[in-house]
Amino acid sequence: MNNTSLLLLPLLLLLLGLNNNLETSSAADAATDGQFVYTGFAGSNLTLDGLATVTPAGLLQLTNGTGGLKAHAFHPDPLRFRDLLVAAGGSNVHSFSVSFVFAILSIYPNLSSHGMAFFVSSSKNLSAAAPRGYLGLFSNESDGDVTNHLFAVELDTIQNTDFLDINNNHVGVDINSIRSVKSYPTGYYDDGDNGNLKNLTLNSHKPMQVWIDYDQETTRINITVAPIEISRPKRPLGSVIFNLSTVLTDSAYVGFSSSTGDIDSQYYVLGWSFGMNRAAPTIDISKLPKLPREGPKSPSKVMEITLPIATALFVLAVGVIILHLLRRRSRYAELREDWEVEFGPHRFSYKDLFDATQGFKKKHLLGSGGFGSVYSGVLKPSKMEVAVKRISHESKQGLAKLYDHGVDPQTTHVVGTMGYLAPELARTGKASPLTDVFAFGAFLLEVTCGRRPVEHSRKDNRVMLVDWVLEHWHKGLLTKAIDTRLQGEFDADEACLVLKLGLLCSHPVPQARPSMRQAMQYLDGDMKLPELMPANLSFGMQAMMSNEGFDSYVISYPSSSTVSHGTFVSGLSGGR
Ligand SMILES: *[C@@H]1O[C@H](CO)[C@@H](O)[C@H](O)[C@H]1NC(C)=O
Ligand SMILES: *[C@@H]1O[C@H](CO)[C@@H](O)[C@H](O)[C@H]1NC(C)=O
Ligand SMILES: *[C@@H]1O[C@H](CO)[C@@H](O)[C@H](O)[C@H]1NC(C)=O
Ligand SMILES: *[C@@H]1O[C@H](CO)[C@@H](O)[C@H](O)[C@H]1NC(C)=O
Ligand SMILES: *[C@@H]1O[C@H](CO)[C@@H](O)[C@H](O)[C@H]1NC(C)=O
Ligand SMILES: *[C@@H]1O[C@H](CO)[C@@H](O)[C@H](O)[C@H]1NC(C)=O
Ligand SMILES: *[C@@H]1O[C@H](CO)[C@@H](O)[C@H](O)[C@H]1NC(C)=O
Ligand SMILES: *[C@@H]1O[C@H](CO)[C@@H](O)[C@H](O)[C@H]1NC(C)=O
């Protein structure tokens, strides 16, 4: 033996001893041997925070529909992602494999906020992370910080242009930042169909399975998604090379995160498995808990109470304004027009409103704002206050409910509802007073014209009411847009004012809309509506292009409407 080996021998023995000690301690802080499977979560010991709960049926419910909050659920014990010793192959993060089954349930078919993620984090304390677009993983301050030591696979249902999202239905790989390293429109390569890519909708109310595989040697991360009824596709949806050894801490927690915006959305995990240095155990799909039954029979208690109230209040408020304006000085007896009768049993008659508010007496005026003046009468004030607070949120659902009646649910239901959703709401999931103004504008036009905001014409073309009214205006025939069922029994100036105001409120660019207060002043005649002209196209185009939000509107609503909106921008920008 030479000198070198004599020196190395004790060192080697020391290393082996140390290694044994480490094995013991790693077994202690990672109680599982780096592998687990949850077939449902009943009786599990997940660490939950925020909105997250495990339902009696055993579903992990990340969010429950309450807006603007976040949720986390962790496997209770940390996992050892690498050995500490270089000699034992340390410094490199182990290969690992994850699989889980999730489902997203939102009140709107193509709109859910904001998304969810599987993630690996050095800490269980994400109290500083922000909800909404940050998915409860990052915040304005922490985004992009390498000390986050956070790897996530996001299932994102909102296109947030600030975060460079590709669409509102994508799977993204996030490293220390909500701006994904790489993202993919959700889909899968169908083995049974020559490996063709099939699109999937995350927010489909249907359970889907995700597989995430990381390989230590190649540092490749594969992501695969598929509906649960099909077996795992051979080809992953996405594949990213990123050395997670540079990201993850030696010991880290695995879990799920989700956050809500303004749209009532529920994010569920049904089953979950993990394998360190091996494939994640197969989840027995047949043993997973069932998603809650959907449909009108199972609304939550809160919805049961607030939805009818909010709907009633909304119809009440709008009905009061419109009818009050159209026949300002008349008694209700003269106001029972034919067209009111035709609106069917889900509308309040003017008489009901008149009786309930004792002729719209000032003392019954609870307040103005939101969708206009709100009167008390049919309801108790305490419930009323609650309802008024929720009105801007619930009224959208109220409208959706209203439109269940008399609309073919297979085809036009979504479109009918969409007519009330401001383009920026569809894009960002963020409701604001200006999105309410948009819905109010759609409602003004609808009531005055007696037509739905979006109708299907021959050849399945969508006709936007806004376009239709604008077209009449262009031709100088604005009064022809007014509901013929009124049989000329209205003040033409007032009706045109309502139409123009409806158009102004329906403007695709939020900043071009008036505030609700201004809208009220225009309606009451306290303020003169700016002189609007449906002309001057070139200036309009310029205004349109200079607003970045407009492009997304064109993309999400590829109908003729946007062009004539461009025309419209001109008159408005001059007026404001
Ligand atoms: C959702 O959970 C939060 C927090 O646990 C709770 O305050 C809220 O009432 C729940 N909402 C519903 C609709 O259950
Ligand atoms: C649940 O996990 C916590 C740590 O998050 C631990 O303190 C507790 O003992 C665990 N309970 C059971 C029943 O495993
Ligand atoms: C929802 O979006 C998907 C694509 O993301 C599309 O194929 C589908 O037609 C949309 N559904 C409705 C009702 O708009
Ligand atoms: C979690 O982190 C925040 C700061 O981000 C800190 O204020 C808080 O004390 C931490 N909570 C726990 C339980 O460690
Ligand atoms: C986010 O942080 C940047 C600077 O880091 C700041 O300019 C910006 O105002 C912040 N935004 C919000 C919404 O806090
Ligand atoms: C699938 O989605 C992509 C964009 O996400 C779209 O370009 C393509 O047309 C869709 N394919 C089908 C068959 O709907
Ligand atoms: C990722 O997918 C590719 C292509 O199917 C495959 O060759 C590779 O082995 C996969 N890697 C992992 C870590 O699953
Ligand atoms: C990954 O990063 C670690 C730590 O920086 C490094 O030791 C290792 O060689 C890298 N692996 C690959 C495949 O580049």
Numbered ranges of CATH 2.60.120.200 in the chain: 35-287
Binding positions for ATP? 389
Encode pLDDT of 145-186 as tens digits.
Answer: 999 999 999 999 988 888 898 998 999 999 999 999 999 999
Numbered ranges of CATH 1.10.510.10 in the chain: 423-545
Encode pLDDT of 183-225 as tens digits.
Answer: 999 999 999 888 899 999 999 999 999 999 999 999 999 999 9
Instruction: Decide: 294 and 105 in contact? Cβ < 8 Å.
Output: yes
Output the CATH code of domain 423-545: 1.10.510.10
Encode pLDDT of 435-479 as tens digits.
Answer: 888 888 888 888 888 888 877 776 667 778 888 888 888 888 888
> What residue ranges in 260-325 does DSSP mark as E strands?
265-276
Does residue 128 have its Cβ closer than 6 Å to ligand 4?
yes
Output the CATH code of domain 347-394: 3.30.200.20
Both tokens assigned to 275: 């394998």
| 3 pLDDT more than 80 | no
Does residue 110 have its Cβ closer than 6 Å to ligand 3?
yes
- State in Å, rounded, how far the first CA of the chain is from the last one: 93
Numbered ranges of CATH 3.30.200.20 in the chain: 347-394
Residue 73: per-residue pLDDT: 97
From the list 427, 428, 405, the residue with the least C-alpha distance to 417 is: 405
Residue 95: per-residue pLDDT: 95
CA of 217 to the centre of ligand 7 (A): 12
Instruction: Decide: 238 and 182 in contact? Cβ < 8 Å.
Output: yes
479 beta partners: none
Q: How far apart are CA 546 and CA 550, in angstroms?
A: 9
| 560 pLDDT more than 80 | no
- Compute the chain's Rg from CA coordinates: 29
Amino acid found at 203: N
Instruction: Decide: 570 and 533 in contact? Cβ < 8 Å.
Output: yes
Residue 330: per-residue pLDDT: 56
Residue 118: per-residue pLDDT: 97
CA of 175 to the centre of ligand 8 (A): 16
Encode pLDDT of 332-390 as tens digits.
Answer: 444 444 444 444 333 333 344 344 444 434 444 433 333 333 333 376 333 333 333 34
DSSP 94-121: PPEEEEEEEEEEESBTTB--SEEEEEEE
Residue 365: per-residue pLDDT: 40
Bond preceding residue 72 cis, omega within 30 of 0? no
CATH domain 35-287 topology: Jelly Rolls (2.60.120)
Sorting pLDDT into bands at 50, 70 and 90, what band is 542? very low
Atom of ligand 2 nearest to the CA of 47: 5
Ligand 3 mutation pick, 104, 106, 107, 110, max ligand atoms within 8 A of CB: 110
| 329 pLDDT more than 80 | no
Binding positions? 389
User: What is the average pLDDT across 123-143?
Assistant: 92
